[in-house]
Structure 1
Amino acid sequence: MVGANLKSETMKLMEKRSGIEAEMNAIIEQLCLPGGPGLSGNLVDSEGFPRADIDIPFIRAQRNRLAELKNDHQGITEKINVNVQVLHSAKLTSTPKESGVETNQNASVVSVGASVSLQNLALRDSQGANEVDIISGVPFAMVDEIADASPAAEDGLQLGDQIVKFGNVKAGDNLLQRLASESQVNQGHPIPVTIMRQGALFNLSVTPRTWQGRGLLGCHFRIM
């Protein structure tokens, strides 16, 4: 069956994407070690000379590899989204009934696009015997800096976490401004956050609040 083959292909793509995300997270963790240059920090000192405390060729290679992985991740995600849309369209055109109940009512399907952040998709085959749950998470930002003892750190965010959903912020334009606004509006109140870490999705809550450091969260987001 075409549908079964397409679902199998989609699952393989998701496994490949998870491997890419794991490699990306490993590179990010390495680049962001204490004393390291981070994802975009200077490789020269204040006088313009190459920093002697870091391996500059290695760091450049890691940054280039990270950029390649990001492009691969985007391409695979777009393929997954196209496959899901095809599967969903095929499901909507066929609505077999069992005992007067349409089987497609049991499927939780949300249309997806390349810029959508989190979609929970449950696709069933025509026999209803095997269910494939496909979670397509498209992160839009990454935690590239986080302070010790900050609200973000205490509430569970970690360096390298990829933000899939932050309160009402999912994707789109002016993301940094919207993230800041979401934190300010919800100061003192928990914000539900969905993150991708080591290729897996996690739900947690972060409460913006004043502390001894800067900002209400004590972390920095880099738009992906």
Structure 2
Amino acid sequence: MVGANLKSETIKLMDKRSAMEAEMNAIIEQLCQPGGPGLSGNLVDSEGFPRADIDIPVVRAQRHRLAELKNDHQEITEKINVNIQVLHSAKLTSTPKDSGVETNQNASVATAGASASLQNLVLRDSSSANDVDMISSMPFAMVDEIADASPAAEDGLQLGDQIVKFGNVKAGDSLLQRLASEAQANQGHPLPVIIMRQGALLNLSLTPRTWQGRGLLGCHFRIM
């Protein structure tokens, strides 16, 4: 019961973090639109006068809100990480639910050391193009079950990983069916997958295959 309660709490925290990320990305998109001030651009012109082409109070409020969300996101991420460590150490696994897709994954992390939190990713001095590129990389599903000794566990996929792209599958309709079909169509073949882990985008190579457990991937996806 304690494990179930901890898992439920962790999922709620992940949902809350996803809402924070959505709000942060919406603010970034507004600040970085063509002609906008960006995340840290000057609010005065070359002569030192307030820029007339932007609403300075609104920009300041947006930047302040972004900073608040950054701090809140860091705190909630740390709490999620603690909960996940407890769940892993207790080896709390259960049968995947009908609402998701059982998967089995051969994941090799192609982006080594990419463990920066989201606030380091989005609150950087960068061009608008980079910020907008991140906005287009929103996850659509989350890994909320991984069986012990499954290919997913052995190959590096972790509880709480958020799926941005699974082979040719991106956000859209009929996601569960498309995820299952993609895994089946690529059985025994490497499948490129992009995930978001602690706010950092990682490239994985997963190989759906049979094993002693259920499914081709040994994990469960929950649509966000």
- TM-score normalized with structure 2 length: 0.51
Mark the CA change 1:67 to 1:158 in structure 2 (over 3 Å): closer, same or farther: closer
5+ residue gaps, structure 2: 37-124
Q: Deviations over 1:9-29 (max 9, x none)?
A: xxxxxxxxxxxxxxxxxxxxx
Q: Determine the C-alpha separation between the residues in 1 that align with 2:217 and 2:199.
A: 24
1:21-40 equivalences under 5 Å are 35-37=3-5, 39-40=7-8
Q: Deviations over 1:115-168 (max 9, x none)?
A: xxxxxxxxxxxxxxx963435130110000001121222222100001111100
Mark the CA change 1:82 to 1:184 in structure 2 (over 3 Å): closer, same or farther: farther
Q: Determine the C-alpha separation between the residues in 1 that align with 2:216 and 2:35.
A: 41
Larger strand fraction of residues? 1
Mark the CA change 1:88 to 1:202 in structure 2 (over 3 Å): closer, same or farther: farther
Partner letter of residue 184 of structure 1?
Answer: Q
Number of residue pairs matched by the alignment: 132
Q: Which SS does the other structure have where 1:188 is aligned?
A: coil
Mark the CA change 1:83 to 1:159 in structure 2 (over 3 Å): closer, same or farther: same
Q: Are 1:155 and 1:207, in contact at CA under 8 Å, matched by a contact in 2?
A: no
Q: Determine the C-alpha separation between the residues in 1 that align with 2:35 and 2:180.
A: 35
Q: Deviations over 1:177-224 (max 9, x none)?
A: 111010000000011011111111110111000000000000000111
Partner letter of residue 192 of structure 2?
Answer: P
Partner letter of residue 145 of structure 2?
Answer: E
Q: Determine the C-alpha separation between the residues in 1 that align with 2:210 and 2:187.
A: 8
Q: Which residue of 2 aligns with 1:76?
A: 24
1:87 maps onto 2:55 in alignment: no
5+ residue gaps, structure 1: 1-30, 41-58, 90-129
- 1:76 Cα deviation (Å)? 2.2
- TM-score normalized with structure 1 length: 0.51
Q: Which residue of 1 aligns with 2:44?
A: none
Q: Determine the C-alpha separation between the residues in 2 that align with 1:148 and 1:68.
A: 27
Mark the CA change 1:37 to 1:206 in structure 2 (over 3 Å): closer, same or farther: farther
- CA RMSD after TM alignment: 3.0
Mark the CA change 1:80 to 1:153 in structure 2 (over 3 Å): closer, same or farther: same
Q: Determine the C-alpha separation between the residues in 2 that align with 1:209 and 1:154.
A: 13
Q: Which residue of 2 aligns with 1:218?
A: 218
Q: Determine the C-alpha separation between the residues in 2 that align with 1:144 and 1:78.
A: 26
Mark the CA change 1:185 to 1:63 in structure 2 (over 3 Å): closer, same or farther: closer
Q: Which residue of 2 aligns with 1:155?
A: 155
Q: Determine the C-alpha separation between the residues in 1 that align with 2:165 and 2:35.
A: 23
Q: Deviations over 1:40-64 (max 9, x none)?
A: 4xxxxxxxxxxxxxxxxxx4xx665
1:196 maps onto 2:196 in alignment: yes
Q: Are 1:143 and 1:222, in contact at CA under 8 Å, matched by a contact in 2?
A: yes
Q: Determine the C-alpha separation between the residues in 1 that align with 2:191 and 2:157.
A: 12
Instruction: Find the structure with the greater CA-based Rg.
Output: 1
Q: Are 1:146 and 1:152, in contact at CA under 8 Å, matched by a contact in 2?
A: yes
Q: Determine the C-alpha separation between the residues in 2 that align with 1:66 and 1:157.
A: 17
Q: Determine the C-alpha separation between the residues in 2 that align with 1:64 and 1:213.
A: 28
Instruction: Report % sequence identity.
Output: 63
Q: Are 1:147 and 1:219, in contact at CA under 8 Å, matched by a contact in 2?
A: yes
Q: Which residue of 2 aligns with 1:144?
A: 144
- 1:36 Cα deviation (Å)? 3.4
- 1:68 Cα deviation (Å)? 3.6
Q: Which of the pair has the greater relative contact order for Cα pairs under 8 Å at 6+ separation?
A: 2
Q: Are 1:155 and 1:205, in contact at CA under 8 Å, matched by a contact in 2?
A: no
